[in-house]
Amino acid sequence: MTFTPDNDNLPEEPLIFIIIGRAYETGDANGVEIHVMLQAPDDDTAVREALNALAEEGFFQADLDQIGTLTDVPDEEPHASAYQGALEGEVSIIRFN
């Protein structure tokens, strides 16, 4: 007989994290403000995946200031598209110049 316990701690929706900070490319002393949106099981995994994605995009350093989960779907672009990408398993990086 197989029994699967009901765990009230598991979220019904996937956790979509938003990480806010500043990332630096080679030779860029000021850096660029970034928002990273991604799906992850916990905040440690979210930070690790965000840093990996930033490195793949050519950033050599990042100062991550805030992390949180989104409770509502964003209405405005570029966050609405980034949220949809995160739901599909992508790591979305939004750059502000």
Q: Note the pLDDT tens digit of each residue in 36-92.
A: 999 999 999 999 999 999 999 999 999 999 999 999 999 999 999 999 999 999 999
| The model's pTM | 0.84
Average pLDDT over residues 1-27: 74
The yes-or-no verdict on residue 3 having pLDDT over 50 is: no
Q: What does the alpha-carbon distance between residue 79 and residue 77 come to, in Å, rounded to a whole number?
A: 5
For residues 70 and 13, the answer to whether their CB atoms sit within 8 Å is no
Residue 4: the pLDDT is 47
